[in-house]
Amino acid sequence: MNRYPVWKYAILVIVLLVGALYTLPNFFGEAPAVQVSSAKATIKVDTAVQQRVEEALKAAGVTPDFVALEGNSVRARFDTPDTQLKAKDAIQKALVPDANDPSYIVALNLVSRSPLWLKALHANPMYLGLDLRGGVHFMLQVDMQAALTKKAESYAGDIRTALRDKNIRHGGISRDGQSIDIKVRDEATATAARNLIADQFADLQVTTTPEGTEFKLRASIKPEATRRVQEQALKQNMVTLHNRINELGVAEPVIQQQGLDRIVVQLPGVQDTAKAKDILGRTATLEVRMVDEGTEARSAETGRGPVPFGSERYLERNGQPVIVKKQVILTGENLTDAQPGFDGQTQEPTVNLTLDAKGSRIFKDITRENVGKRMAIVLFEKGKGEVVTAPVIRSEIGGGRVQISGRMTTAEANDTALLLRAGSLAAPMEIIEEYTIGPSLGADNIERGIHSVVWGMVAIAVFMCIYYALFGIFSTVSLAVNVLLLLAILSMLQATLTLPGIAAMALALGVAIDSNVLINERIREELREGVSPQAAIHAGYERAWATILDSNVTTLIAGLALLAFGSGPVRGFAVVHCIGILTSMFSAVFFSRGLVNLWYGRKKKLKSVAIGQVWKPESDSAVAKTN
Amino acid sequence: MEFFRIRKDIPFMKHALVFNAISFITFALAVFFLLTRGLHLSVEFTGGTVMEVAYSQPAELAKVRDTVAALGYPDVQVQNFGTSRDVMIRLPVQKGVTSAQQSEQVLGALKAADPAVILRRTEFVGPQVGEELVHGGLMALAMVVVGIVIYLAFRFEWKFGVAAIIANLHDVVIILGFFAFFQWEFSLSVLAGVLAVLGYSVNESVVIFDRIREAFRKYRKMTTHEVIDHAITSTMSRTIITHASTEAMVLSMFFFGGPSLHYFALALTIGILFGIYSSVFVAAAIAMWLGVKREDLVKPAKKEGDPNDPHAGATV
């Protein structure tokens, strides 16, 4: 009765092996490495970059353990921090000739020392949370109301232009909160305006209310459009943050959306919060200016003469100099959107800009006066300007919709649009949560967490082995398997391990032993009542199972509640807690039974089991008496 | 080795009233302290800035306090954290000053007074986050309560569900009472610990209920009293050993886990101790007051499919 079929043993062995395999990477520790990633949205890190890194290392006489392309970065691993530093200098020199204008970020990092074959199996160590490795965490709240107000403002301008184009007379357009009020004289005009808005602005909904003899149209942004505006604002802010954080040279920054209007930024290893905050909060500016096309400027462009008075020299993205007038025509504030697209007639890739009302008026005037001339869109970041694009004006452009086309690939159009968009934040942001953990505290926390788990386990193991003899050893082995499986699953999920997570692990082990105690006590009880050893083992496991299931489900309910409503550290706790309960059911019941079966299952005439002393009342049991 | 050599069922239920009275008094005291003293909520809930700095020598708290107060923070808390060299500084939320400025400013002033000071950790939480956390915590508590009652009602009977949840909520209130009385810091991790302990000690009640059900089936002649006494007595050994093991783990966290896990482990310890008490003495007693009967648990419908029933198949 106490024998498992072969397939059950097979499952146990396979689970153990897989568990061991995926837990393994966590024990190799970390090795110094240099990581190269892109500093600009337009530059991709690919095998060519990997080759350049390899060549640079060879030229400097540094031999890495390996150089590999992982995701969007190239990583080279080294033996010692000394070679790491040497290699960083070599790579920096080779890939970043101009420190003021880096195309790549060369950062020091730590990567797992685990061998390549483990990596090939996707067996990677767990991530360590900021509280274990040190770093900065920010939570930013995006002001969505401001984003919507901005959008409404631009609609107000657009509607004004559209009404003027169709010669619909109105008595004033104004923005009230996030809706737009339009006053009209009579009903016919109201209907005309209404139809026009319904026709041209799919994202707006209009209500008409009579106001004395006049009519008031109130246009508001539709709920689904509101959602879209908010999503776009969040996305744009994240892209902008990404670009800015790149400058910090952080190896593995985390930029995540949280909820509908929040962004979490985590910078492992960064200690200088002030600088980080400064960079996150900085605004890049975009300016539209005219290109100086005088003869003096022409010669300055080729480097044969000085830059004329009232103009400045900037570089285009391909490194070609452009002489641009100092007078600013428009700024990024007037640009509401930039999207890549295609020209309807020529099928060329284009970048489509949308300007707000004020921007479109100015743009119309400027383009009318400057047909055939070039204008430049300059992006200023860190006080340094770069010409994103310098197109030729072909005709007068009204309506605030600008199309830039010609000599662009689709990828270039995408990149340009991204740059134009990412230059500024779509909506203001505010830091609502922030924490910094020093590297020494992180190391302390790891040590403390591991000590708690290890010593707690040792205490439990010693007690179990003494009290339950061989069954105590089975229980201890099962508990160890529980740890193994828990670590393996967390590594497979690539979960982030935090201090509360380690605490949850300790607690999960403390709770897991409950199942084994239940089983062992049950077996003893059966033996006390005079049941044969084999039958006692069988009954002990069978009867304890219902109880174990019930008690684990109630604990799991608490874990799930924490997972659903907790945030940050509580969530880390809850994840480990829930997984720990599930693995404990496997190890404490299925696995420990397997051990017991393997040991006792074949012995047909079993006289006794080593489960510690089973005390029997001398005379007769209390239970038997009452019956 | 066998610790528990109990010959007869211990008549726990005879003294049910006494146990319930003790529970009620502790509960009332806990509520009283919660109301009068309130919880010492951490920055995560109240909003504000916490800084942890380390000195090379034991720090003089009074001096640190003066230095920070000189910057114009009237309501500042300065205390040791872990060792005498580590100092925790708590600043309230201030309008018009960003968190960055606040921590930089304070660190600057401390550095001026003693250049050896190192920033170990800062934490800033905006007031809106705190409100959400309180809301999330209450929602989690509600979900645990409802979930457990439903599950137990489904597995056993509603009376058991209600009894278990009352017994264990009373543990939660008592833990909170301790935190209020001693003014220990109530942080997010303590909240997690409290909710985990709620799930964990419901465990205990479940084990006893399981036994009650079994005893109802097995010993047809026993009264409800006797059944409950028997169930508690026969699970006694397991109860003590399990809790001792879990507690060993928690104590290990308490001693080795450092200051960050200190209050978490403390909450668990109180929870485990009161968990035993309430499951053994309170939950079963409440179930008894609610009038659990054999018929509630031993469903006649069960008999039909029961292969062990000697009368199976004998229907006419």
Please tell me the least confidently modeled range out of A273-287, A351-365, B73-87. Answer: A273-287
What single letter denotes the amino acid at residue A604?
Answer: K
Task: Place A81 in a pLDDT band, splitting at 50, 70 and 90.
Answer: confident
Q: Are residues A314 and A215 in the same domain?
A: no
Same domain? A456 vs A384? no
Indicate the residue of A451, A514, A517 with minimum beta-carbon distance to B256.
Answer: A451
CB within 8 Å: A517 and B241 = yes
B261 and B118 in a single domain? The answer is no
Lowest mean pLDDT among A27-41, A77-91, A523-537: A27-41
* Most A-contacting residue of B44, B191, B203, B221 (CB-CB within 10 A), to test interface: B203
Same domain for A466 and A417, yes or no, is no
The pLDDT confidence band at residue A254, using thresholds 50, 70 and 90, is confident
CA distances in angstroms from A560 to A334, A503, B303, listed in the order given = 48, 17, 36
Give me the residue from A436, A509, A562 closest to B122, CB to CB: A436
What average pLDDT does the segment A113-142 reach? 84
Whether residue A397 lies inside any domain: the answer is: yes
Tokens of A501: 């997570």
Are residues B246 and B139 part of one domain?
A: yes
With cut-offs at 50, 70 and 90, classify the pLDDT of residue A595: very high
Question: A159, A197 in Cβ contact below 8 A?
Answer: yes
Structure confidence at residue B304 (pLDDT): 43
Question: What CATH number is attached to the domain comprising A520?
Answer: 1.20.1640.10
The model scores a pTM over 0.80: no
Q: What is the pLDDT of residues A165-187, one digit of tens each?
A: 888 888 888 888 788 888 888 88
Cβ partners under 8 Å of residue A425, min gap 6:
A236, A237, A240, A283
Per the document, the length of chain A is: 627
Look up the CATH number of the domain holding residue B151.
1.20.1640.10
The answer, yes or no, to whether residue A274 has pLDDT greater than 80, is: no
Residue A104 has pLDDT above 60, yes or no: yes
Do A603 and A472 lie in a common domain? yes
Q: Are the CB atoms for A456 and B261 separated by under 8 Å?
A: no
Quote the CA–CA distance of A368 and A40 in Å, as a whole number. 35
pLDDT at A622 over 50: no
Chain A residues near residue B87 by CB distance under 8 angstroms: none
Three-state secondary structure call for residue A77: strand
Q: Which of B151, B230, B257 sits opposite A449 (nearest CB)?
A: B257
- Contact (CB<8Å) B257/A434: no
Among A159, A236, A577, A267, CA closest to A422: A236
- Same domain, yes or no: B185 and B238: yes
B2, B241, B253: residue with CB nearest A615: B2
Cross-chain Cβ contact B136/A565 below 8 Å = yes
**B175 is in which domain, residue-wise?**
12-40+129-298
CB-CB: which of A436, A460, A565 is closest to B248?
A460
Q: Cβ A510–B247 below 8 Å, yes or no?
A: yes
Residues A160 and A204 in one domain: yes
Domain boundary among A430, A463, A496: A430
Asked if residue A119 belongs to a domain, the reply is no
| Same domain flag for B68 and B144 | no
Identify whether B1 is part of a domain: no
Say if residue B118 is in the same domain as residue B157.
Answer: no
Interchain pair A555, B143: CB under 8 A: no
Instruction: Provide the CA A106 distance to its chain's centre, in angstroms.
Output: 21
* Per-residue pLDDT tens listing for chain B (316 residues): 677 777 677 788 778 888 888 888 999 999 999 999 988 888 888 888 888 888 888 888 888 888 888 887 767 788 887 778 888 888 877 666 666 667 777 888 888 888 888 888 888 887 777 788 888 888 888 888 898 888 888 888 888 888 888 888 888 899 999 999 999 988 888 888 888 888 788 878 888 888 888 888 888 888 888 888 888 888 888 888 888 888 999 999 999 988 888 899 999 999 988 888 887 788 888 888 887 877 777 765 444 444 454 454 444 4
CATH of the domain at A157: 3.30.1360
Retrieve residue A496's tokens.
């982030």
Both A344 and A370 in a single domain? yes
Q: In Å, what is the CA distance from A430 to each residue of A1, B28, B46, B98, B128?
A: 66, 43, 18, 10, 12
Q: pLDDT band at residue A603, thresholds of 50, 70 and 90?
A: confident
Instruction: Indicate whether B155 and B252 sit together in one domain.
Output: yes
The pLDDT of residue B308 is 52
pLDDT at A38: 77
The answer to whether residue B6 sits within a structural domain is no
Query: Do residue A496 and residue A609 come from a single domain?
Result: yes
Provide the strand spans (E) within B126-270.
185-186
Query: What CATH number is associated with residue A79?
Result: 3.30.70.260
Specify the amino acid at residue A105.
Answer: I
Interchain proximity B248–A459, CB inside 8 Å = yes
Q: Which residues neighbour A171 within 8 Å (Cβ) at sequence distance 6 or greater?
A: A183, A184, A185, A214
- For residue A390, give its domain range: 283-430
Residues of chain B contacting A504 with CB distance shorter than 8 Å = 192, 196
Distance CA(A101)–CA(B131), nearest Å, equals: 44
Domain count for chain B, please give it.
2
User: For residue A409, what is the domain's CATH number?
Assistant: 3.30.1360.200
pLDDT of residue B97: 62
Nearest in space to A42 (alpha carbons), one of A501, A418, A553: A418
The closest alpha carbon to A420, from A403, A406, A432, A440, belongs to A403
CB pairs under 8 A between A and B: 256
In a domain, B184, yes or no: yes
Calculate mean pLDDT across residues A326-337. Answer: 77
Please tell me the total count of domains within chain A: 4
Residue that is last in its domain, among A113, A134, A159: A113
Contact B249 A463 (CB under 8 A): no
For residue B4, is it within any domain? no
Q: B26: which 2 tokens?
A: 């502790």
Give yes or no: residues B67 and B202 share one domain: no
Q: How far apart are CA A298 and CA A292, in angstroms?
A: 8
A214-221 and A204-211: which strand pairing?
antiparallel
Does the distance separating the beta carbons of A507 and B241 come in below 8 Å? no
